[in-house]
């Protein structure tokens, strides 16, 4: 690290659990962020601010007026732009030292099989089960840690999956791909703006813990947040040996 970086990241370096060593891991890391909306905005902004050296943003959408109530990486001036371009401009102002690559397309299996192996950690900031399961399959196949978040109405969920850990479940252990889940979205159900910020910030925290190898990541647990009662609940989420994605053959 140079003198500018030592000063920029000094409040991290003061933390015994982080110090020079973990901060250097941040600088050397590559985080793949799938989704540049309500969750992806705080995820990308905090990871860039924290000094993660490389970020790849994947999102096919453009900025819409209805996004601005919660998607803080975008502004009124970027309405109509691709979300990945709008977010990249925000991150460049926040920390020009972070390299930001953008992919303006849907995260399908072929794209994920190309991008996931290059990542230190993957953050699922999407809003549909098909993409979530595709991300999970790629992370299991390539043994890359995955931090998954979701938010709707007043509720949020968070979990970390690490295929390098033999005891870790995967996303499909908790939400089997063949189960019938009702697909709901913010566009029809609504979401309280700060809820995505809370969950996204915690995703960034989990990603930094994974990258920096400190603390205890949220592996084997599902954390649920209720903003109306301001209550957190944690549930055990063990690996399922019958899981079609990570279960033993």
Q: Which of 125, 170, 173, 186 is catalytic?
A: 186
Contact 125, 100 (CB under 8 A): no
Beta strands in the chain (DSSP E): 30-34, 54-58, 99-103, 121-124, 146-152, 155-161, 221-226, 231-236
Our answer to whether residue 243 is catalytic in this structure is no
221, 41, 111, 148: CA torsion to nearest 10:
10
Contact 56, 103 (CB under 8 A): yes
Q: Give the angle subtended at the CA of 71 by the CAs of 67 and 74, to the nearest 5°.
A: 85
Which structure tokens are listed for 145? 């840690």
Catalytic residue positions? 186
């Amino acid at each position: 690290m140079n003198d500018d970086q030592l000063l920029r990241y000094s409040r991290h370096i003061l933390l015994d659990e982080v110090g020079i060593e973990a901060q250097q891991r941040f600088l050397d890391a590559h985080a793949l962020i799938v989704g540049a909306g309500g969750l992806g905005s705080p995820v990308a902004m905090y990871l860039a601010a924290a000094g993660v050296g490389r970020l790849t943003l994947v999102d096919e959408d453009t900025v819409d007026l209805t996004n601005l109530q919660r998607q803080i990486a975008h502004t009124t001036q970027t309405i109509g732009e691709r979300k990945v371009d709008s977010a990249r401009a925000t991150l460049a102002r926040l920390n020009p030292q972070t390299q930001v690559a953008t992919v303006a397309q849907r995260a399908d299996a072929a794209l994920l099989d190309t991008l996931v192996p290059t990542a230190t950690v993957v953050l699922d900031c999407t809003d549909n089960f098909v993409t979530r399961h595709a991300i999970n399959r790629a992370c299991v196949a390539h043994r890359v840690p995955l931090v998954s978040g979701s938010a709707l109405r007043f509720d949020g969920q968070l979990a970390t999956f690490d295929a390098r850990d033999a005891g870790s479940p995967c996303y499909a252990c908790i939400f089997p791909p063949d189960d019938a889940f009702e697909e709901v979205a913010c566009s029809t159900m609504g979401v309280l703006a700060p809820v995505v910020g809370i969950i996204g910030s915690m995703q960034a925290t989990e990603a930094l813990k994974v990258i920096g190898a400190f603390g205890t990541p949220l592996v084997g647990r599902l954390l649920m947040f209720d903003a109306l009662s301001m209550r957190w609940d944690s549930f055990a989420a063990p690996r399922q040996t019958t899981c079609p994605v990570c279960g033993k053959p």
